[in-house]
Amino acid sequence: MGDPRVRRRINAVIDWVLPYVAQGTGPYEWSAKNLRKVFGNTSNNALSRWLMANVLQQTGFYRVGEFPYAYLIRPEGIEKMLALLQEADQQKSARL
């Protein structure tokens, strides 16, 4: 968790999802383009897959033009990421 790029991505995802958490856990319908902008390309990036798997849970089924995917927010995943960031901060301050 020492890589600043990873920390930036995690913080960006948390900043994006927190306003939705205040409204409730969903389900929400977001376009694939919007999700890709926030999480990155999940098909070939392990960090993107991990972030999305921890923050969102896909619900329902997809049918072109009729039923888009919907997502539920996973509060426990957000708490997990916040704890990882806090732990990394503590380790960094202990080394200084």
Give the gyration radius of the chain's Cα atoms: 15
Task: Classify 65 in phi/psi space as left (phi over 0), alpha (psi -120 to 50) or beta.
Answer: left
User: Where does the pLDDT of residue 81 fall: very low under 50, low under 70, confident under 90, or very high at 90 and above?
Assistant: very high
Give domain status of residue 59, yes or no.
Answer: yes
Which one is predicted more confidently, 73 or 26? 73
- What tens digit of pLDDT does each residue of 12-49 get? 999 999 999 888 877 888 888 899 999 999 889 999 99
- What tens digit of pLDDT does each residue of 2-13 get? 788 899 999 999
Give domain status of residue 70, yes or no.
Answer: yes
Report yes or no: 75 and 81 within 8 Å, Cβ to Cβ.
Answer: no
Exposed/middle/buried for 42, CB within 10 Å: 0-12, 13-18, 19+?
Answer: middle
Give domain status of residue 24, yes or no.
Answer: yes
As beta bridge partners, residue 56 has 73
Domain that holds residue 40: 4-90
Q: Indicate the number of domains in the chain.
A: 1
Give domain status of residue 49, yes or no.
Answer: yes
Return the H-helix or E-strand segment holding 10.
Answer: helix 4-23
- 48-67: average pLDDT: 84
Task: Give the position of tokens 């977001």.
Answer: 30
Give domain status of residue 96, yes or no.
Answer: no
Mean pLDDT taken over the chain: 87
